[in-house]
Amino acid sequence: MATYEDFQKLDIRVGKIVEVKDFPEARNPSYKLRIDFGGEIGVKKSCAQLTQNYSKEDLMGKLVLGIVNFPPRQIGPAVSEVLTLGVPDDKGNCVLAVPDKDTEIGGKLY
């Protein structure tokens, strides 16, 4: 069982998607994202399987939650620096976990 101390090790922050590109080399349909997490963390790259529920236009400027302190992960020819958080819909496709109000970019989940 995870402890509260385990949860505190995760650095989950609010970011704003500032760039969305197709990722045709991915095994499953995906986008390459650049997400701005504010001055302390900056802009980071993420690969996410979001094409079933979001267009590139839907994602631009969207606030999202991401884990910013995982090690980078190689996804095909790209490197994902953060894990963009989401939950499955009724078909198993990703729905983003997002703040329900405008909030400060870089704000830490607690």
64 falls within a domain: yes
Domain residues for the domain of 40 are: 11-96
* CATH of residue 80: 2.40.50.140
34 falls within a domain: yes
At 55-104, the pLDDT tens digits run: 999 999 999 999 999 999 999 999 999 999 999 999 999 999 999 998 99
24 contact partners, CB below 8 Å, separation of at least 6? none
3 falls within a domain: no
80 falls within a domain: yes
Q: Is pLDDT above 90 for 31? A: yes
- Give the distance, in angstroms, between the CA of residue 42 and the centroid of all CA atoms in the same chain: 14
Q: What's the domain count of the chain?
A: 1
41 falls within a domain: yes
6 falls within a domain: no
At 38-63, the pLDDT tens digits run: 999 999 999 999 999 999 999 999 99
